[in-house]
Amino acid sequence: MTVLKLRILFDHAMFGPGKAELLARISETGSISAAGRHMGMSYKRAWMLVEEMNTAFRDPLVSSARGGAGGGGAQLTPAGIEVLRRYHAVTEAATQAAADDLAALAGMLRA
């Protein structure tokens, strides 16, 4: 199986498969710490990546509430949902555009 993974480098930011997965996991779990655990990363690392994304984009991608008696949580903002959707659209389009060349490269590999 051949998988194309894309990292998009902007002037002052970067977005790729790791951050996309983190956003998807936050959406699934409603928690930054749970999303990080699913990915095998520390809470500190997950929070750092969320802060990095929230700072890089005009609108924050993740909103969160502190824990405590009422519980905390996190969710994607409309901007976060849109960024994730567009990233997946870009990777799908690139995969389709490169299908022939990817197949050719895979065919050149040792068995």
Global pTM? 0.90
76-92 per-position pLDDT tens digit: 999 999 999 999 999 99
C-alpha–C-alpha distance, residues 84 and 91, integer Å: 11
Count of residues in the chain:
111
Tally DSSP H helices, then E strands, for the chain: 5, 4
Q: What is the pLDDT of residues 9-36, one digit of tens each?
A: 999 999 999 999 999 999 999 999 999 9
Packing angle of the helix pair 17-29, 43-56 (nearest 10 deg): 110
Domains along the sequence of the chain with CATH: 8-103 (1.10.10.10)
